Amino acid sequence: MASSKLFCFITFSSYLLLLPFFVSPSFADSNATSPVSQGAICKSTPDPSFCKSVLPTQSANVHEYGRYSVRKALSQSRQFLKMVDKYLNHKSSLTISAIRALEDCRFLAGLNMDFLLTSFQTVSATNQTLSSWKAEDIQTLLSAILTNQQTCLDGLQSTASAWSIKQGLAVPLSNDTKLYSVSLALFTKGWVPKRKKSTTWRPPRKQSGFRHGRLPMKMSGQTRAIYESVSRRKLLQSGSGDEVLVSDIVVVSPDGSGNFSTINDAIAAAPNNSKSTDGYFLIYVTAGVYQEYVSIGKNKMYLMMVGDGINQTIITGNRSVIDGWTTFNSATFAVVAPGFVAVNITIRNTAGAIKHQAVALRNGADLSTFYSCSFEAYQDTLYTHSLRQFYRECDVYGTVDFIFGNAAVVFQNCNLYPRLPMTGQFNAITAQGRTDPNQNTGTSIHNCTIRAADDLALSNGTTQTYLGRPWKEYSRTVYMQTSMGSLVNRAGWMAWNATFALSTLYYAEYNNTGPGSNTTNRVAWPGYHVINATDAGNFTAENFLLVDDWLPQAGVPYTGGFM
């Protein structure tokens, strides 16, 4: 034990000397830069015992400890990716379901490396408390890393044939997750301001029409008409008078009359690694049924996809867990590229209730927006997987846990339609998956309407519908100013398993209306609250997502505060 402690001491000391961006403590808050013991700093983390096992033993300040933990986390993420690749190099000995679970893990591990590199660059650059926006960026990435870990683990655990793989990856998955939790806790303590404060968004400069002239020659006579009808009429309803900045536009039409006949081909043609100041690459998807699995990778940033309307432009698939897919890769439509916007599109998974988990949309795209879209499936319809998301005037249909995941997400002016499940099943609108108290994640449902879908309304059955249940230990969901139909069970919320998470979850209701909103007979869990306007204000779009800093450029209407 003595030699291992000496090794940690030498590594840490050398690391501090080599830091290229080390900032003098004189620039930072005196409390944050005062050296404290390993034991003292670890008390601020969820698992002090593990924290003490990974941090160096000599005294340091929170920024030094924080940089050390993020750097170590980046190194561990690389090692884990190598382990996953080692298994995938022997695919011939694996079942299809095991391969799919491992491919999910590889994909998520790659994202983790990206997120940790960005985080390390930020914490290495300053000892000062960051601006609200920059702190939110890094806290979001570190929160998503934990979510990615959990998703990998969930996929492996649900794959019966992957027992040996689970045995081999379980310990590194667990230890890495604990290390990432330490990094998030120390970042929160050392760099995050005590109160969020959004700043007023300003466009790069006011634009008229297209910023660039990179338009397909054969479309030159049509692009402006499309831009006017699609971008201005359908998007800019907020009265701001600003135009959406568009760099290029392509048309997808199933009859071959556009630039592309498939959505994925149009995505492939989009530029890589665009910036918000470049403008959106607009993909106009004309009316039709598109039977394809759409995937928008991390390099296809700032895409805008606009259809002809709900039930006019339809993207559909039928993958499910019963048919051998993981929940994660059962999605008809999956996106991880930052800045994605979708408008006037229906996304379906038609596998049916009998196939259990079958996702319509999986969204892991930071600063993403869905406006006037419909998501239709049964169990696990809408996977709000991670990062920051906003939904406005959307319809969501489903049965069990039909809005689930661990994003920081706001649903505003949306319609939530519980539908008829299989015999013996219940409906749970949400299953929020927060696993760590320092994650800035949760589901905020604001000014929405909950009503029975037609099949449930006509069933005259005994299906019970609940506002949500705790998928993970720190599950967090808030309903505000929402109209709740009589179908909502009087208890409101349902336990996941006995007393699991009832003390650690945060479920809250504020100023809801309708026959299902009466809180008199709600659950008496320690984590359930009927809150006031001050507490509810933390979950408005402007405070929970800092939307004023990024949403105006998408051109969609939104309300920052209460209605």
Query: Would you please indicate which residues are annotated as catalytic (active-site) residues?
Result: 401
What's the burial of 18, exposed, middle or buried (CB within 10 Å: 0-12/13-18/19+)? exposed
Determine the number of helices (DSSP H) and then strands (DSSP E) in the chain: 14, 26
Tokens, residue 500: 């699991």
Look at the alpha carbons of 84, 88, 89, 94 in this order and tell me if their dihedral is positive or negative. Answer: positive
Spatial CA neighbour of 298 closest among 319, 272, 330? 272
Cα radius of gyration (the chain) = 24
Residue 117: strand, helix, or coil: helix
- Which residues of 344-480 form beta strands (DSSP E)? 346-349, 361-363, 368-371, 374-376, 382-384, 388-392, 395-398, 403-405, 408-412, 415-418, 427-432, 442-446, 449-450, 465-468, 476-480
Tokens, residue 328: 């994660």
The two beta strands, 294-296 and 333-335, are: parallel
Q: How far apart are CA 85 and CA 169, in angstroms?
A: 12
Q: Which residues pair with 428 in a beta bridge?
A: 466
Single-letter amino acid, residue 455 = D
